[in-house]
Chain A
Amino acid sequence: MKLITAYIQGPKLNDVKQELFRNGIYKMSVMTAMGCGQQLGYQENYRGVVEEVNLLKKIRIEIAVNDEFVKPTVDAIIAGARTGNIGDGKIFVQALEECIRIRTGETNTVAIG
């Protein structure tokens, strides 16, 4: 079992979701995130004062999958999120120790799917 975490551009969320659905991956958590990386920031002006904003608005997706789904999931996220420009985002894959479905008490591979 793996936990896949991806940071993507906000407007690409719909494309990523569509790619995931097309590959049979329907379960995910999505949240807003702020972050900085190679993309650098932008300037805001407020009442004559210029400020450099370097934390950009991003979207974070978390998907827990069984091992055979790792590659399709990663591929789908790339297919949906990639524009080729700096700022497209990153994907992290981590080992996942345990998973329990609250309603039934099922664990691990059964609970994830």
Chain B
Amino acid sequence: MSEAGITLQEVKIAIDTLWVLLATFLVFFMNLGFAMVESGLCRSKNTVNILTKNFIVFAIATISFWVIGFGLMFSDGNSFTGLSGLLFASGMDNSPATGDAYTGVYSSLGWAGVPFWAKFIFQLVFCGTCATIVSGAVAERIKFHSFLIFSFIICAIIYPLIGHWIWGGGWLMELGMFDFSGSTVIHSAGGWAALAGILMLGPRIGKYKMDGSTKPIYGHNMTSATIGALILWFGWFGFNPGSTLSANPEALAHIAMTTCIAAAMAILSSTVTSWITQKKPDLSMIINGCLAGLVAITAPCAFVSMTSAAVIGAIAGTLVVFSVFFWDKLRIDDPVGALSVHLVNGVFGSLAVGLFAEQSIGTDLGTGALVSNGLFIDGSVSQLLAQGAGVLAVALFVFSVSMVVWAILKKTLGLRVTKEEELAGLDIGEHGMEAYSGFQIFNNL
């Protein structure tokens, strides 16, 4: 403490904490976006059910991440899991001390100069996002209690373990994989869990006809879906720049803009792609396109130039449209496009680090001096190989563990509602109430 009362160091901690919490609240706001996108892209008779799932899933994330998740993910342990201070995030910690001065058990976050609970709540809103991804993919047919149990497991165990590998000092981190804000850790992980759930559930009644063709099941409120997508975009300005965990001016500005430019290019490219393939620009595809661009730039946002961000966004927006067609060809019914947005583009975004990363940008911004140049920058493949290893490891682990969990739930509590309930809507079946009471809604599917 100086004579003046406050040191520069304390001012920095205060500013960093303010930024981390502001970013946290932006990411929290994404819950609203997910709720609106998912309910808007599904039918009105399932709205109460989807909104309830989205509302409750963040509460589940909070409790399970506090009880065990955070400890597994960030505490010191071995390459595969954290082992110290596991329960209730109660291990020794002397944040905001950093570097050599840090003496706690969560040393993988020891570089961030903010108080412990600021680190915790920022990581918590990320965990909540991962669980929310599953909700949209399994919508309109899953039993409410089975979804709740799966959410507990993904937040308490599945997400924290792969998080430990990549962010918590685990083996993928040692291997040199870079995932700045979680294209792999959050988005493709949520996507693999969702894919397993869809495979165990099967498609909604009426989606795929006997003759092999697909019947569109229209979303009931495109206003809600559009507002939701814009809210998600807004929230992403906390999601990506927030992962700096410090108010580093150059990095924040750079990341905010790579995030924005990727989303913008993805919106344009998904518009063009859907215009060409479907004859008319389809708003639901443009919404998916925007989210695809954001997911794809999430891993590379701190290591790539503006031009590369634009290219990544353009590819993501095109990829997402063809991906929606692809899953339908396989009769994998994903009501809101969660697989195309989070799984496909989570994988693409993670690999994009290996294609477009520039060491000079990571060094200049202070976001990752150890990242190697990507394949398209100087022709070297080392970073791409590390990224590929991470993508593959997460795919195998999350998909197989999720399959086992879904299978156990199917055998014990049952996964899918009855045919009668699905036709009448889960709002009446699971909750005994309607979203639009007093409206007459055409209910023929």
Instruction: Please report A residues at the B interface, Cβ cutoff 8 Å.
Output: 10-11, 13-14, 32, 34, 42-46, 57, 59
Contact = CB atoms under 8 A, between A and B. Distances in A.
B443 A42 contact: no
Nearest to A45: B432
26 contacts: A10-B423, A10-B442, A10-B444, A10-B445, A11-B205, A11-B423, A11-B444, A11-B445, A14-B444, A14-B445, A32-B441, A32-B442, A32-B443, A42-B424, A42-B428, A43-B432, A44-B432, A44-B433, A44-B434, A45-B431, A45-B432, A46-B432, A57-B441, A57-B443, A59-B442, A59-B444
B445 to A, nearest CB: 6
Contacts of B9: none
Given A44-B428, A44-B432, A45-B433, A34 B444 contact: no
Contacts of A14: 206, 444-445
A34 B434 contact: no
B46 to A, nearest CB: 14
B440 interface: yes
A6 to B, nearest CB: 14
Contact of B440 (A32, A42, A45, A46): A32
Nearest to A50: B432
Contacts of A59: 442, 444
Contacts of A42: 424, 428
B432 A13 contact: no
Contact of A34 (B432, B433, B440): B440
By secondary structure, the B interface counts as loop
Interface in B417-443: 423-424, 428, 431-434, 440-443
A11 B45 CA distance: 13
Nearest to B428: A42
Contacts of B206: 11, 14
Nearest to A12: B444
Contacts of B444: 10-11, 13-14, 59
A58 to B, nearest CB: 9
A43 B433 CA distance: 9
Contacts of A32: 440-443
Contacts of B442: 10, 32, 59
Contact of B433 (A11, A13, A46, A57): A46
A57 B439 CA distance: 11
Contacts of A44: 428, 432-434
Given A10-B444, A32-B440, A45-B431, 11 more contacts: A11-B445, A13-B444, A14-B206, A14-B444, A32-B443, A42-B428, A44-B428, A44-B432, A44-B433, A45-B433, A59-B442
Contacts of B441: 32, 57
A64 B363 CA distance: 77
A52 to B, nearest CB: 11
A21 to B, nearest CB: 15
Contacts of A11: 205-206, 423, 444-445
B372 to A, nearest CB: 56
A10 B205 CA distance: 13
Contacts of A45: 431-433
A46 B431 CA distance: 9
Most chain B CB within 10 A, of A10, A14, A34, A42, is at A10
A43 B206 CA distance: 26
B175 to A, nearest CB: 52
B417 to A, nearest CB: 14
Nearest to A13: B444
Contacts of B432: 43-46
Nearest to B422: A11
Nearest to B443: A10
Contacts of A57: 441, 443
Contacts of B440: 32, 34
A83 B441 CA distance: 23
Contacts of B443: 10, 32, 57
Nearest to A44: B432
A11 B442 CA distance: 10
A42 B429 CA distance: 10
Interface in B199-248: 205-206
A44 B434 CA distance: 8
A63 B442 CA distance: 19
Nearest to B419: A11
A46 B423 CA distance: 21
A42 B423 CA distance: 14
A45 B427 CA distance: 11
A57 B444 CA distance: 10
